[in-house]
Amino acid sequence: MELRPFQWVLIGFAAVGWSAWSWYWFRSRLRYVIGRTSLRVVFGRFTVRRVPYEEILRIRKPRHTPPWRLTENWRNGFFDNHRVLVVERRCGWFPWLVITPARRYEFRTRLREAMARQGVLTDDDDPEAP
């Protein structure tokens, strides 16, 4: 059975549609969990990314766009620029972790409190910093 060009076009559109749907589905299922010792990105029951508190240098909203080639992008929505938080890390190939919690300031406060319970301060929390 030989496929006609129109059938190939339909197969291409179906493949693109399925890819877009699966990307949207995966991305919309990501959650952010503040654990006892680390910040975790969770998909369903599985942890897909874990950042220990000792690695976190700064937590901030983006004032300027970080170079996207150097970020780990763990956004969980679309058209969510008003929810972006940038977690700057001390080490690793990608120094910035980009997340989009529902209430970014509340999430940042809870994350800083969890880090303080472990005795870890961020650079923007350090009282001795200028």
More confident position, 1 or 119: 119
The whole-angstrom separation of Cα 21 and Cα 80 is 18
Sequence-distant (6+) residues with CB within 8 A of 97 are 49, 51, 71, 72, 74, 86, 87, 88, 89
76-109 pLDDT tens trace: 888 777 888 999 998 888 888 999 999 999 999 9
Fold of 7-117: PH-domain like (2.30.29)
C-beta of residue 83 within 8 angstroms of C-beta of residue 101 = yes
> In the chain, what are the domain boundaries?
7-117
22-50 pLDDT tens trace: 988 888 889 999 999 999 999 989 999 99
